[in-house]
Amino acid sequence: MKIGEVSRLSGFSIDTLRYYEKMGLIDPPWRESGRRAYDRDILGWLNFLKALKATGMPLADVETYARLRREGEITSAERREMLERQREIVRERIEELTDCMQLLDYKIANYVEIEARHQAADRARNS
């Protein structure tokens, strides 16, 4: 696949894909007449990188993970530990966001109640 197709299918910009190549996050593709030609398997890896980014994993950790991945199965314990640590960070963030959402729900319900009282008072005055 050409870089434009990978960009379109992955949601990453062409510049980001080139940057990820330079950083070592994705393996340089083989070249076909001077142009990048990616294997379709790159899409799964890019989807995983997108997930790591969405979890807030620092770029340095993503780079470390990519390096360990290239080293093969011998690094599986290290990669698992990295993902477990990140999962715990995500779990804590979800708890924090859940608390925030509950507070927002409370405030919204309070405003709905206030508005209903005002509307009832307006109707009573206009009757």
| Residues 106-119 pLDDT 10s | 999 999 999 999 99
**Per-residue pLDDT tens digits for 9-54:** 999 999 999 999 999 999 878 777 778 789 889 999 999 999 999 9
pLDDT band at 72 (very low <50, low <70, confident <90, very high): very high
What pTM does this model have? Answer: 0.79
pLDDT digits (tens, 9 = 90+) for 84-100: 999 999 999 999 999 99
Mean pLDDT of the chain: 94
- Sorted by where each starts, the structural domains of the chain and their CATH numbers stand as 1-71 (1.10.1660.10)
Closest alpha carbon to 15 in 7, 27, 23: 7
* CA–CA gap between residue 38 and residue 2 (Å, rounded): 6
Residue entry with tokens 């530990």: 81
Q: What are phi and psi of 44, to 5 degrees?
A: -65, -45
Residue 93 to residue 87: CA distance in whole angstroms: 10
